[in-house]
Amino acid sequence: MNNLLLGAFISLIGVALLMYGRKAIRVPHMVVGLVLVIYPYFVGNLIIEFAIAFVLVAALALVSRLGV
């Protein structure tokens, strides 16, 4: 049950990033958003799912700060 809720929350963040990336024409946001929408279907462990989401969002923040 918790895995389903976390997956839905991560996918919701992914949809928001995907929509923002399409509107602002930001490729890194679109890519991370798409990955956040898709990968929860393939990961079954709650901790690994959260860790992947954290790493992806942290990498997006780093790329955004660097101006790419």
Note the pTM of the prediction, 2 decimals: 0.87
Contact 66, 20 (CB under 8 A): no
How many domains does the structure of the chain reveal? 1
Which one is predicted more confidently, 16 or 68?
Answer: 16
Contact 37, 15 (CB under 8 A): yes
pLDDT digits (tens, 9 = 90+) for 28-65: 999 999 999 999 889 888 999 999 999 999 999 999 99
Residue 15: its H or E element: helix 2-24
**Dist. CA 36–CA 22, nearest whole Å:** 15
Full domain range(s) for residue 49: 2-66
Please give the backbone phi and psi of residue 7, each rounded to the nearest 5 degrees, phi first.
-65, -40
Q: Which residues contact 10 (CB under 8 A, 6 or more apart)?
A: 36, 40, 49, 53
